[in-house]
Copies of this chain bind each other. A is one copy, B any other.
Amino acid sequence: MTRKAKVTIQDIARHAGVGVGTVSRVLNGHPSVSAETEATVRQSIAQLEYRPMAAAQTLRSRRSNVLGFITDMIATTPHAGQIIRGAQETAWHSGKVLFLVNTEGDPELERSAVDVMIDRQVDGLIYATMFHRSATVPSNIYAVPTVLLDCYVEDASLPSVVPDEFSGGYQATKVLIDRGHRRIAFLNHVEPIPAQRLRVQGYQAALADHDIPFDATLTSEAWSEPRGGYDAMKTLLHHPQRPTAVFCFNDRMAMGAYEAIRQQGLRIPQDIAVIGYDNQELIAANLWPGLTTMQLPHYEMGVWAVEHLLAELPATSEKGDSAERAPLQVKLACSLVLRDSV
């Protein structure tokens, strides 16, 4: 094998033609080494690709330049990768590396992941979930600065950033109203998660603000997958007063709604306008016609979480906690992505 053996301090000494003690003094920044000798040793360190034992260095400095990122399943599912991208790019710009552990939501693994992260003396932790929800975090997470991403704890004891689902629901509905629609259906998800509760509230508020009476027969709930959207849409198309537009809880339901509409020989958007939610990669831009949708602030939440975490870190490790104040609970706006379905 071409695998190299780990370079030791002895190798450096031999290569530089100095004693082991001299190499050690250079590594420890000892003032007794001449500039020439130091240059020679540093050249050997570079050429041999020597890595000093970082564990020992970390013990001294107590700052690791690593942030931990613990998630239920963002790394393994296709739904929210931009969360990671926003976080990692922000970390890089601050000279930090992001160590991810993906736990699939197993509480024991989460706890171990936090332990291992703390063992490795990460500067702080991001705890992120695949969709916006209330979270139960492992209790050991409070031992290090932590920011919650796309989730929150009920007692608001940790800072958090989540999407503003209400205003997103409002905005999506207003897009349809602005194009003259007044019979606007809403295909909702069936589980009582924040997005399910808040998007429909935004929809109702937008209707009310435009003097459109809420008609419960134009709303229905189903699993937020293409099949659920297909079935719900099929039923809705038999409504005696067919809606002229439909707001789908997510793009996956919209994908199914498209098929139901197509099977009825109707056209999008001429016969019925469709708006989705998520701007889901692989789906939204690739439907025919392209799907107008609300983009979740995944990237932006990743950025915010890391920036907030870095701001929270004590300037030196022994300085203690930052001033007592309530952890921020932040909502970031969703943005409209206009395509051809409305």
The residues of A with any CB-CB pair to B shorter than 8 Å are 1-7, 49, 51, 53-59, 65-66, 74-79, 81-82, 84-85, 88, 92, 97-102, 104, 109, 112-113, 115-116, 118-121, 139-140, 142-146, 157, 225-227, 252, 255-256, 259, 262, 280-283, 286, 288, 320-322, 324-325, 327
Taken together as a complex, chains A and B put the C-alpha atoms of A57 and B282 apart, in Å, by 46
Contact B78 A82 (CB under 8 A): no
The one of B74, B99, B252, B286 that contacts A101, using a Cβ cutoff of 8 Å: B99
Say whether, besides A1-B157, A55-B120, A252-B282, A97 and B79 are in contact (CB < 8 Å).
no
Provide 19 A-B residue pairs closer than 8 Å at the C-beta atoms, listed in order of the A residue: A1-B324, A3-B144, A4-B142, A5-B321, A49-B143, A53-B119, A54-B120, A55-B55, A55-B56, A55-B119, A55-B120, A75-B84, A75-B100, A77-B78, A97-B113, A99-B100, A100-B102, A280-B282, A282-B283
Contact A101 B109 (CB under 8 A): no
Taken together as a complex, chains A and B put the C-alpha atoms of A280 and B5 apart, in Å, by 41
Contact B3 A321 (CB under 8 A): yes
- Number of chain copies forming the complex: 2
Taken together as a complex, chains A and B put the C-alpha atoms of A56 and B84 apart, in Å, by 30
Taken together as a complex, chains A and B put the C-alpha atoms of A81 and B77 apart, in Å, by 6
Taken together as a complex, chains A and B put the C-alpha atoms of A28 and B74 apart, in Å, by 38
Contact A327 B77 (CB under 8 A): no
CB of A218, distance to nearest CB on chain B (Å): 25
Contact B66 A116 (CB under 8 A): yes
The one of B4, B81, B145 that contacts A78, using a Cβ cutoff of 8 Å: B81
Q: Which residues of B contact A58 (CB under 8 A)?
A: 55
Q: Which residues of B contact A144 (CB under 8 A)?
A: 3
Contact A85 B78 (CB under 8 A): no
New contact pairs (13) apart from A76-B84, A84-B102, A120-B120, CB-CB < 8 Å: A1-B322, A1-B324, A2-B157, A3-B145, A49-B140, A54-B121, A76-B88, A78-B78, A78-B79, A88-B102, A227-B286, A252-B282, A283-B283
The one of B56, B101, B324 that contacts A97, using a Cβ cutoff of 8 Å: B101
Contact B100 A143 (CB under 8 A): no
Residue of B nearest to A327 (CB): B1
Contact A226 B286 (CB under 8 A): yes
Say whether, besides A51-B115, A113-B97, A142 and B2 are in contact (CB < 8 Å).
yes
Residue of B nearest to A76 (CB): B81
Contact A55 B4 (CB under 8 A): no
Q: Which residues of B contact A139 (CB under 8 A)?
A: 49
Taken together as a complex, chains A and B put the C-alpha atoms of A76 and B121 apart, in Å, by 25
Q: Which residues of B contact A56 (CB under 8 A)?
A: 55, 59
The one of B55, B82, B116, B142 that contacts A59, using a Cβ cutoff of 8 Å: B55
Taken together as a complex, chains A and B put the C-alpha atoms of A115 and B140 apart, in Å, by 28
Contact A82 B76 (CB under 8 A): yes
CB of A330, distance to nearest CB on chain B (Å): 16
Contact A76 B85 (CB under 8 A): yes
Q: Which residues of B contact A102 (CB under 8 A)?
A: 75, 84-85, 88, 98, 100
CB of A243, distance to nearest CB on chain B (Å): 22
Taken together as a complex, chains A and B put the C-alpha atoms of A100 and B109 apart, in Å, by 15
Say whether, besides A49-B139, A54-B120, A55-B119, A98 and B97 are in contact (CB < 8 Å).
no
